[in-house]
Every structure is written in structure tokens, then in C-alpha cells.
Amino acid sequence: MQPVSVLGLAKLAAPEALAQSLANIRGSHSPGDLGADGKPKLGHFLLSHRPLEDVVVKVNGSAIAWLLLGLAFLLVVGLVSWFGPRASNSANGDVSSASQSSAGPVEAWAYVGCSPSHVYGVCEPGRTDVLLPSGIWRGYSQEDGKDFEVVEFILDFTSTGENQPGQVTGSGTDDTGKYSLAGVFEQRRLAFQKKYIWGTPALDGRVNHESNSGHVVEYRAEWAGENLRKGIKGMWYIEELSGATRTNGNFHVWPAMDGWQRIGQKVLAPTSPAATGTDITPKKILAFKVEKDHICAKCYVNPIDVCLLPCGHTAICRQCLPRLPHRLCPICYAPVNMIVTENGTVLKSRQY
């Protein structure tokens, strides 16, 4: 006798109930929902038997037009912001100190090679470089967000020949240690580096290994005006050998040696009364333009707006005139006989 399963017993026991259930399933589906074997197709239990109502989609043409217009505007702004500065830099060859970032300075030869030309009468026709005065250059330096400090370089400028960049060299000692200078100059720009000698004493005679790691300071600058009365202004960059974060800042120096007035400018001061028999007050003094970013070398706050004569330095503001010690120029320490504004007005005149 063969064993009978529970399901088989159920079928034998209730054939009428099973047939009724199958009939109910078949009756609940349309003929299209059933297969060839009369069983419902897979997935048809998910379908609704009610006919779908018509769906009406309303499109707001004005909203779509404004959306497309906004996308077009964003696209134009993006293209201008991306290609505008690149095209401008490519057309003008702009590698000035203002465009240099903290990522690092422009290569020295490329920087001086893009130097703007001298104005008429400053440089001899056909020359690409002017021999700057060798000796002391004095001014200030500032690191972003920090105080100003007085700086002084002893620079030696030599010309290598016609249509060739000149060479700048030098050496000295400051608050960090001993250093050497080397670089190039051409037209109105110069680029040089300051290499500190590791383990050398500073001005106070002490060796400071924390500040003097044998690092290099790169300088990039150009004339701050049409002549050297406004000095040379630019940026410096430091890259530590230890791999520390690069820092940079601004600096502004003026020639402080005797005879610098003969370089790149006309006579600033009149001849002596004994030689001419006339008053020392000039009839007309060459005016200069006040630049807001050329700050006073005395207070480091106000723009430079006066010229000191006879030395000719344009380095301080009118508010600092009473602070001049013994009426001496703060750059070259020459006696100040006259103080002139940007439009040629004489503020003070004194004969010694």
C-alpha cells in the first residue's frame, strides 16, 4: 500500500471545495488575464481592472522660457570668468608683481623680459637697460598681516652690454644673518634673490638657527614711478628649506647713495644762489602723481604726497613732515631745504 500525502488526502477529501476555489479564481480574471492552461498570468494581480482616465499635462511656456534664459546667463558668466583673465594675460603679457600670488614668484628672466619701456627722455634710445645707481637702497618691508620693518640693501648694478639684461649682486648682514644677493634687471624691473648663509651671526652677534635655515628670499619689483624718486616697489617670497608654508609680502626701497638723482630723471633741484645769483625757489617743479598704494615710509599709513628737495625723494606724507629728525630725509639723511606737493606747490622753504 502506497503512502498518501496530506495534500493528496485534502484533494480526495474535498474535491468539490477545490473545484469551487478554481472556479472562483478563473471567474475573477478576464479571459485575457488567463494563460493557455486556464491559470492566471504572472503579474496580472498588480493591474487594475478599472480603465485609466485621461491625463492632461499643462506646460507653462513662460516658466520654461525664463528657466532657459537663466541657464544661458549662467553659462555666459562662467565662460567669461574662465576665459576672460586668460585672454587678458595672454594679450598683455602681464606678469607684474600685482598679479603674482603666494604660489611663488615669476621666473627672474621672464619677469624682467616683460618689463615696460622707459618713458621718453629717461632711457637712451635703443637701450634695453639703464644702469641703476650702486650703493645703499633703503626702505621698508611688510609681511601680510604683520608689522613693517626697515630694510637696507647694498646693491651693485653692472651692465653686460647693449640689449642685454644687467646684473645685480650684493651681500650684507641683517637681523637674520649674513646673505648674498644675485639677480638681473632690465628697463624698469629687477629680480634678485637673497640667499642666507646658514650658521652665520646676525647683527647682534648671535646665531639664530630658527630664523636662519639657509633659506632663499626671492624679490620681484619695478619702478614705482616714471623715475627713481618714488623708488622701487614689489613683492618678496620666502620658501623654507624645511618645507614650511611659503610666505610673501610687500617691500618698497629708494636709492640712498650720493648722485642717484642723475639716474633716470631730470634735475630736481635748482643750482645754488651763488652760482646763478637768483633765488633758490624754482619757478616750476615737476609734478608727480599720488598713488594710494605707495604708503609713507615714516608712518606706513598715509599715501606719499610730498617730495623732499634737494634730494628729490618722494617717500613720506605731509602729516609726517614735523616728525623729520633734524629736517633730514628719512631715506638718504640729506638736509631738506624744500617740501613740494604733487602739483608743484612749495610748502616750506629754508636756506642754510
Same domain, 254 and 105: yes
Answer yes or no: is 87 within a domain.
Answer: no
Q: What is the total count of domains within the chain?
A: 2
23 band by pLDDT with thresholds 50, 70 and 90: low
Dump pLDDT digits (tens) for 39-70.
555 544 444 455 545 555 565 778 888 888 88
Answer yes or no: is 92 within a domain.
Answer: no
Answer yes or no: is 257 within a domain.
Answer: yes
**Domain end residue (candidates: 262, 278, 305):** 262
Answer yes or no: is 284 within a domain.
Answer: yes
* Joined grid coordinates for residue 66: 525664463
Same domain, 250 and 103: yes
Answer yes or no: is 55 within a domain.
Answer: no
Same domain, 287 and 255: no
90 band by pLDDT with thresholds 50, 70 and 90: very low
Q: Which comes out higher in pLDDT, residue 38 or 311?
A: 311
Task: Decide if pLDDT at 248 tops 70.
Answer: yes
**Domain end residue (candidates: 240, 262, 284):** 262
Same domain, 115 and 253: yes
Task: Decide if pLDDT at 25 tops 60.
Answer: no
Using CB atoms within 10 Å of the CB of residue 42, give its burial: 0 to 12 exposed, 13 to 18 middle, 19+ buried.
Answer: exposed
**What is the SS3 assignment for 20?**
helix
Res 125: pLDDT:
44
Q: Considering only CA atoms, which of 300, 287, 297, 140 is closest in space to residue 221?
A: 140
Res 24: pLDDT:
57
Answer yes or no: is 60 within a domain.
Answer: no
Same domain, 130 and 277: no
Same domain, 104 and 222: yes
**Domain end residue (candidates: 211, 229, 262):** 262
237-245 mean pLDDT? 70
| Residue 350 belongs to domain with CATH number | 3.30.40.10
Adjacency order of strands within the sheet including 306-309: 306-309, 338-341, 346-349
For 56-88, b/e burial (b = at least 16 CB within 10 A) is eeeeeeeeeeeeeeeeeeeeeeeeeeeeeeeee
Average pLDDT of the chain, as a whole number = 74
Same domain, 321 and 305: yes
345: phi then psi, degrees, rounded to nearest 5: -75, 130
In DSSP terms, 185 is beta-bridged to 166, 190
Dump pLDDT digits (tens) for 103-160.
678 888 889 888 776 654 444 444 445 678 899 999 999 887 678 889 999 999 998 6
300-304 mean pLDDT? 93
Q: d(Cα 24, Cα 78) in Å, to the nearest integer?
A: 67
CB 209 within 8 A of CB 151: no
Q: What is the domain range of residue 321? A: 267-352
